[in-house]
Amino acid sequence: MFSTMTKKGSFVNTILVTGVAGFIGFHLAKRLLKEGNTVVGLDNINDYYDIGLKEARLKHLLSENGFKWHRADITDVAKLESIFAESKPQFVINLAAQAGVRHSIKYPHSYIQSNVVGFMNVLECCRHAKIEHLVFASSSSVYGANGRVPFSIHHNVDHPLSIYAATKKSNEMMAHAYSSLYSLPCTGLRFFTVYGPWGRPDMAYFSFTKAVLDGKTIDVFNNGNLERDFTYIDDVVSAVIRVMHKIPAGNTAWRAESPDPATSYAPYRLYNVGNHTPVKLSRFIEIIEKQLCRKAQKNYLPMQAGEVLMTYADVGDLISDINYQPSTSIEDGIASFISWYKDYYLK
């Protein structure tokens, strides 16, 4: 498969984005379309959170030239195969997944079905379609019980603390198997607490903002002594697009006697996508309060099952390989989110 060239001489690709009505998928598709690519979007529009928000994102995408839309589930292999056959993408960015650490403790079966079975279908379709590069979403949750910070892609991640984390670790291993067996170029991205406009209502910054504006109490776990590497959506999208164009080759320095988890003899790569700047939950709440000019009513609670004390991304490999430079401060990012929130919900 080959990219086509525009009259101006730039290359235009057909890119399949699964989970396109999701938070990251929506912003990624917008950027790809702005750059002149054709985006084939796929999403099942499940009701894990507000369907209306997903439909509003889709409405924006459908107004753009070059966007093609399929309502489909990656667990439906026949439908997925037909979309691949029809669209003939050069690149696939798999963002479709059942999200949520705490939700996975209550409903583990849905995570296996979507995140494992569904991802298996994506891999099979990519193999048969001879995709140039599969980029897939992993998660900082895979670091689990690992206490070494900052979290490095060169660390082993064998102690997940939730089924969600276990499914994301499974994705990494499955992708490596396909990369090794079929020379399918695969890159996994471990996202660290992505936030920003059009975000997910189940995320803390979203629910905290809503609660403060509604005068309701927010639950603050581990008495606010948690730290998260909040990463602004624009920085994340820039990283994904740059990685997409950096197709991995086998690492000739890789050795079985001392295996590097981040690379391989196969065309396979892992990266952290974070801000490299952990923020305490208590400080995070203060920033929201300042932006809203209101104080939060707090209900302090102990640590939740499945959660980790800190996420902190070592992004050195991403900096050296694609010149990744996250540039959005938590203050500016939260201000942008709250501005969008007020415009979307309060006008």
- Both structure tokens of 51: 């369907």
pTM of the model: 0.93
Which residue from 72, 97, 75 is spatially nearest to 22, judged by alpha carbons?
A: 97
CATH number of the domain enclosing 93 = 3.40.50.720
Instruction: Please report whether residue 211 resides in a domain.
Output: no
Instruction: Please report whether residue 259 resides in a domain.
Output: yes
Catalytically active residues, by annotation: 164
Q: What is the pLDDT along the chain (347 residues), one digit of tens a residue?
A: 444 444 343 457 999 999 999 999 999 999 999 999 999 999 999 998 899 999 999 999 999 999 999 999 999 999 999 999 999 999 999 999 988 777 888 888 999 999 999 999 999 999 999 999 999 999 999 999 888 989 999 999 999 988 999 999 999 999 999 999 999 999 999 999 999 999 999 898 999 999 999 999 998 888 888 899 999 999 999 999 999 999 999 999 999 999 999 999 999 999 999 999 999 999 999 999 999 999 999 998 888 776 778 889 999 999 999 999 898 999 999 999 999 999 999 97
Structural domain boundaries enclosing 257: 4-192+233-275+313-327
Instruction: Please report whether residue 209 resides in a domain.
Output: no
* 45-68 exposure pattern, b = at least 16 Cβ within 10 A, e = fewer: ebebbeeebbeebbeebeeeebbb
Instruction: Please report whether residue 303 resides in a domain.
Output: no
Angle, alpha carbons 279-30-322 (nearest 5°): 60
Instruction: Please report whether residue 148 resides in a domain.
Output: yes
Give how many domains the chain has, as a whole number: 1
* 117-127 exposure pattern, b = at least 16 Cβ within 10 A, e = fewer: ebbbbbbbbbe
Helices (H), 5-114: 23-34, 51-62, 77-87, 101-106, 108-111
* 214-245 exposure pattern, b = at least 16 Cβ within 10 A, e = fewer: eeeebebbeebebbbbbbbbbbbbbbbbebbe
Instruction: Please report whether residue 53 resides in a domain.
Output: yes
Spatial neighbors of 220 by CB under 8 A, at least 6 apart, are 281, 282, 285, 298, 299, 300, 301
- What is the SS3 assignment for 288? helix
* Bridge partners (DSSP) listed for residue 94: 18, 136
Instruction: Please report whether residue 294 resides in a domain.
Output: no
Instruction: Please report whether residue 347 resides in a domain.
Output: no
